[in-house]
Amino acid sequence: MGEIKSAWEIALERTREIPAAAAAELERERAERVGRALAERILNGVPLKEVLAELEEYRGEEAAPVTRTAAAHLLDGLEPEPPERFDTVAAAVARLLGPAARELEELAAWYRRAREEKVARIEAEGRALLRERGISGPAVAGINAAAREAWRASLQGLEEACRTRLADLKARLAG
């Protein structure tokens, strides 16, 4: 009858056979997998505090590649719209990359404020147009900022300006 081995002993025997380069590659793949999973959790709306607590489980040399992968994955999908998500993801990247990514948070805050101001101006203009036509009162709730071509173009221009600045930031952070 053969010797009974624990799963740990079997795993140790098998890992002894793996060359150091292959072990490093496996560790890199694992770090990428974990980093992507953490980034996906942020993108799916899991509170940043929870994800950062999970990241704390990784220490030393193990933490850096996981953090870099998570930040890179978040940067890949970062878009100005919707502004709430842009704020959340920019804050997550800034927390992962530190001071180098603070400008990203500032860009998200600038875009949110500029967009809110532009939408407020569009709504005021829309209400004025409705008043000119004799439509007013509490029945006029909100104005669709995308209803008129000029309004839509104005919002798209702001978004494009943000995308240009965002592309520059992404390039700097990735490099």
- Tens-digit pLDDT profile for residues 82-121: 888 899 999 999 988 888 888 999 999 999 999 999 988 8
Which has more pLDDT, 107 or 4?
107
Beta strand residue intervals within the chain, DSSP E: none
pLDDT over 90, % of the chain: 21
Q: Based on the domain organization, do 57 and 84 belong to the same domain?
A: no
- For residue 54, what pLDDT is reported? 85
CA pair distance 105, 87, nearest whole angstrom: 7
pLDDT band at 145 (very low <50, low <70, confident <90, very high): low
Whether a cis peptide bond, with omega within 30° of 0, leads into 82 is: yes
Q: Based on the domain organization, do 85 and 73 belong to the same domain?
A: no
CA pair distance 158, 161, nearest whole angstrom: 5
Judged against a pLDDT cut of 80, whether residue 135 lies above it is answered with: no
Judged against a pLDDT cut of 70, whether residue 51 lies above it is answered with: yes
Q: Based on the domain organization, do 100 and 155 belong to the same domain?
A: yes
pLDDT band at 1 (very low <50, low <70, confident <90, very high): very low
Domain-terminating residue out of 28, 59, 77: 77
**What is the chain's length?**
175
pLDDT band at 142 (very low <50, low <70, confident <90, very high): low
Q: Based on the domain organization, do 87 and 170 belong to the same domain?
A: yes
Q: Based on the domain organization, do 132 and 103 belong to the same domain?
A: yes
Q: Based on the domain organization, do 94 and 66 belong to the same domain?
A: no
Residue 147 has, within 13 A of its CA and on its CB side, a CA count of 12
Read off the pLDDT of each residue in 11-33 and give the average, rounded to a whole number: 74
Q: Based on the domain organization, do 69 and 31 belong to the same domain?
A: yes
Whether 173 and 100 have beta carbons less than 8 Å apart is answered as yes
Backbone angles phi, psi at 44, to 5 degrees: -85, 5
If one counts the domains in the chain, the total is: 2
Predicted TM-score (pTM) of the model is 0.73
Domain-terminating residue out of 77, 93, 121: 77
Q: Based on the domain organization, do 85 and 141 belong to the same domain?
A: yes
Q: Based on the domain organization, do 131 and 67 belong to the same domain?
A: no
Which range of residues forms the domain containing residue 101?
79-175
